[in-house]
Amino acid sequence: MQIVGVMKSETINKLKISANAAKYDVSCASSGSNRANKGKGIGNASPWGICHSFTEDGRCVSLMKLMLTNYCIYDCAYCANRKSNDIQRTTFAVKEVVDLTIEFYRRNYIEGLFLSSGVINNPDYTMERMVRVARDLRVNHNYNGYIHLKSIPGASDDLQQKAGLYADRLSVNIEIASEPNLKMLAPDKNFSSILEPMDTIKTKIIENKEERRKFKHAKSFSPSGQSTQLIVGATPDTDQSILTLAGSLYRNKYLKRVYYSGFIPVNSYDKRLPTLTEPPLKRENRLYQTDWLFRFYNYRIDEIVNEDHPNLDLEIDPKLSYALRNPWLYPIDINKASYELILRVPGIGVLSAKKIVLARRYGKLGLINLKKIGVVLKRAKYFITCNELKSPTINELLPQNVRQIILSEKQAKRKLKTNNTQLSLFTTT
Amino acid sequence: MNILIYDNTFEGLLTAVHDALDLNLIPSKILRRNSFQDDLFATKYEIDADLDKFESLWDELKKKTNEKNCQRIFKAFLSESIDVEMIIYDYIKLILESDYNIETNFSDDSVVKINNLQKKVGRETQRVLMFVRFQKTVDDIYYASFDPKYNVIPLTLNHFRNRFADQKWVIFDTRRKYGYYYDLESVQQITIGNKKVSMESGKVNSESLHVSEKLFQKLWKGYYDAINISERKNIKVHMQFLPKRFWKFLPEKDFKNSLTKA
């Protein structure tokens, strides 16, 4: 009983400080790994990932995000944990993190652990302690749940190798999309110090895949790949430079995910940073939409952002924006066009496009069929023809008018909503 | 007017569908025995599950479509929706009368209806996996209550058995008053007769809780509050992803309540 009491106040405090320090890391994905529960141990990793809660900011809570310590020898301008900040600091013992992970996991609070750390003493020292947590979970507790480890730039290859054997995913955060701006805000870092560990991880993942092809029982190395994070709005970098970097990371470093994090002014006293009234959440959202178009809709990055359009349109989504800029590609014939072309219709997602291709084998599709399939006709109707009388498309109406119609419909919908709430207030009083 | 009345089970429903198709009987309604109120003007057929008939129909459905599609029918059944029996009847009839697999004909009404129902059931199943919270008891059993809209707990058992293979657990459906217990060997269906668990709040009373349980609930609540970024507050999205009906099971949303009541 006494021991429980002691653990209580101290651990609760540590947990709060550590979570508070780790919360700006947006990665929370627990998907992509298929680790089975071997020999009746604890847990497994489900390939599609599971969210277990949602905080008031609307973000999903899947992994327990902790910093092993929030002490740090670096002084990066955008980071809440920079060494010059006078904040509460704490360091976990390896066993504390292991116990918390196991106890939370057993109660179905979490899918697993996301562990990062401030850099203390030197990169190897820091990374070694993180690897110990992962090793203890896997080896001593037979824990098969998800583990995401943040790789510490500058740590030895040997430690990266060990980390990858215990973790489901490794990540190295780039944070700032261009090197001069990175150097200005984080004088201790440069691109090569970040890209080098990425390359090491990439090589090991490829080697490991080859090895597992030959030897079925070879241990997997970071089976859920690697990811990174880019801060948006802390520097004047354009969406074009952010997305071009992201695209090349996907292509050349085989990253599984690039995360975008709207800059939250944690160190407003630092004059190198812009003053923002609120975090650029809309822009962040548009970047994610473009990321999706790139990964699941077969768009090239330069089709969405380029020299003529270096920044994303905040009023409308990037897919609609692309369609309005390229009216000659439309209308697309739903009953004849290829899957790839149907994917380019605003208002039709991956699932609807697949259903259309399957369903049209049974007969020609009209508007009612499309609606049942789940197509958002309010948008799609300007960009398609189907088994129906012809209605005006983008070519007759002209792009700027379609844009106006869609925007005003959006506004009207919002207005209707506020009117309704006012009305119900009125009737109940 | 023909009314088929079956014994509330899935096997019973498929037996009824089997008989109706066999006898060329067009049902106007298919009802559960426990929801049937007498109707003087209808011709009533009482049907009990017949496993041979069930299996012969089930096998034929598998042959004409596939295993996954048959699971769709079962999932739709678990929705307990008031018209689910007729939707299933129409869908089965469509499958048997077509020369080819109609599974992906998304412009057909009964295909759309089955798919919508099974999607709702699938979504609720996912929510059980997300929001079940175990409370550790004095006898080292991890207990969880849930109040699912549809009868989906059976669909979650494999997941929990694989994941929590080395701990005893119970998942109890407080709406349908039954649950499942895993004793490290197998999963059994159970009911609960004692007062150690509140059917309203879903909580284990404090004498039956493990000594460490409240500490970990408090740690979790502390973590949950600290991980929130207040500058990004977005209650609309929060409520959309985490509807209020689940809050009473979540220590992070309902901790005050669990301390006073437990």
Are B27 and B86 within 8 A, CB to CB?
yes
Q: Are residues B179 and B116 in the same domain?
A: no
Question: Which of B106, B134, B211 has the CB atom closest to A358's CB atom?
Answer: B106
For the domain spanning A2-277, the CATH number is 3.20.20
A10 touches chain B (CB under 8 A): no
User: Which residue among B108, B124, B140 closes a domain?
Assistant: B124
Q: ipTM of this complex > 0.90?
A: yes
Helix (H, G, I), strand (E, B) or coil at A219: coil
Quickly count helices (H) and strands (E) in chain B: 9, 8
Q: List every span in chain A annotated with CATH 3.20.20.
A: 2-277
Whole-number pLDDT of residue B166: 94
**Please, which residues bridge with residue B5 across strands?**
B31, B46
Rounded Cα distance between B29 and B86, Å, is 7
Largest alpha-carbon pair distance within chain A? 78
Q: Are residues B116 and B161 in the same domain?
A: no
User: Which residue among B92, B124, B156 closes a domain?
Assistant: B124
Whole-number pLDDT of residue A421: 59
User: Which residue among B124, B156, B173 closes a domain?
Assistant: B124
Total domain count, chain B: 2
Query: pLDDT-based confidence at B242, cuts 50/70/90?
Result: very high
In the chain, the amino acid numbered A245 is L
- pLDDT tens by residue, B109-154: 999 999 999 999 999 999 999 999 999 999 999 999 999 999 999 9
- pLDDT tens by residue, A366-381: 999 999 999 999 999 9
Q: Are residues B13 and B117 in the same domain?
A: yes
Question: Which of B102, B126, B134 has the CB atom closest to A107's CB atom?
Answer: B134
Residues in chain A with CB shorter than 8 Å from the CB of B126 are 50
Q: Which two tokens stand for residue A114?
A: 């996301």
Sign of the dihedral defined by the CA atoms of residues A269, A272, A277, A278, in that order: negative
Residues in chain B with CB shorter than 8 Å from the CB of A43 are 163-164
Q: Are residues B33 and B142 in the same domain?
A: no
Q: At what angle do helices B153-163 and B67-78 cross, to 10 degrees?
A: 120
Q: Are residues B136 and B118 in the same domain?
A: no
- pLDDT tens by residue, A152-163: 988 998 999 999
How far is C-alpha A235 from the geometric centre of its chain's CA atoms?
Answer: 20
| Residue A45 burial (10 A CB sphere; 0-12, 13-18, 19+) | buried
Residues in chain A with CB shorter than 8 Å from the CB of B218 are 8, 12
A164 touches chain B (CB under 8 A): no
How far A335 CA lies from chain B's nearest CA (Å)?
A: 13
Are A199 and A249 within 8 A, CB to CB?
no
Q: Number of C-alpha atoms within 13 angstroms, CB side, residue A320?
A: 21
| Residue pairs between chains A and B whose CB atoms are closer than 8 Å | 158
DSSP A19-59: HHHHTT-------S-----TTS-B----TT----EE-TTS-
Q: Are residues B243 and B139 in the same domain?
A: yes
Q: Are residues B73 and B151 in the same domain?
A: no
Question: Domain range holding B70?
Answer: 2-124
Q: Are residues B117 and B38 in the same domain?
A: yes
Rounded Cα distance between B190 and B186, Å, is 12
Whole-number pLDDT of residue B262: 37
Query: pLDDT-based confidence at A427, cuts 50/70/90?
Result: very low
Test A109 with B220 for CB contact under 8 angstroms.
yes
Question: Which of A58, A355, A361 has the CB atom closest to B234's CB atom?
Answer: A58
A65 touches chain B (CB under 8 A): yes
Q: What is the pTM of this model?
A: 0.91
Are A197 and A236 within 8 A, CB to CB?
no
Sign of the dihedral defined by the CA atoms of residues B197, A106, B173, A52, in that order: positive
A244 touches chain B (CB under 8 A): no
Rounded Cα distance between B64 and B87, Å, is 18
Test B228 with A15 for CB contact under 8 angstroms.
no
Residues in chain A with CB shorter than 8 Å from the CB of B123 are none
Are A54 and B253 within 8 A, CB to CB?
no
